Structure 1
């Protein structure tokens, strides 16, 4: 069986930290779900699609749940580049647009209501694209396929339901 490059990259990304820190809850197309009982937290994660443009970081998206903090489905993006101060960070999912907060190489929803809206939009879309301006004034885009995202998010939620 041939393993898609993006799935292989996701697996390598997950192996970058200590193996004992995570339990795999499953790989669903381009998305994986994991539990870290030491925190405790569970999350769905995917790498951005490939790009020929320069990157400062290896971009990924996560949707996390921290049951002891009563946080569920919190979105976080690691962007492919360092963003300019006060840069506008936009996320497009189908016809929906969200203005995210962020700094350095990270972006996130403004609040829990926006997290819920983004997660809802992700469940019915084929892809999402985040864009911003980097520290050199260049626009950049990170795109994510959403096949498997809903199942991975559900697996992460269920994985932390008894913690």
Structure 2
């Protein structure tokens, strides 16, 4: 099976699981998907994804002792790689973003044979320079490489 086929199959499974929880997937573009999710969640537009990438990478660069534990391999090389557009985000960037924005980031992902939620809580208190319009952010990771936003479906009687 091709990679895209596996992703489509996983996405379909995730969609079914999330629908049962009154949630839906809001797809973002393939390139820079994690940072596009952050931009869409906070600014209701994906156009700020490069700025969020720069801010999170700089935040990580200044706080290596807090986030190095989430990186396999050399931390400085990882952060340098993350500064380049189209580099896939990892748990390290999700932890840094949760701390930077001061909000939990919930990721729905396949753990073995089961879909489950994993919550990334802020590591420490940090005053983000603007008001964050949400209390938390939900993402889905269907293939260990791509992230999309998850929204709670609002039922109107």
TM bin (shorter chain)? under 0.3
Greater share of helix:
2
Question: TM-score w.r.t. structure 1 length?
Answer: 0.25
The structure showing larger relative contact order (alpha-carbon pairs under 8 Å, at least 6 residues apart) is 2
Bigger fraction of residues in strand: 1
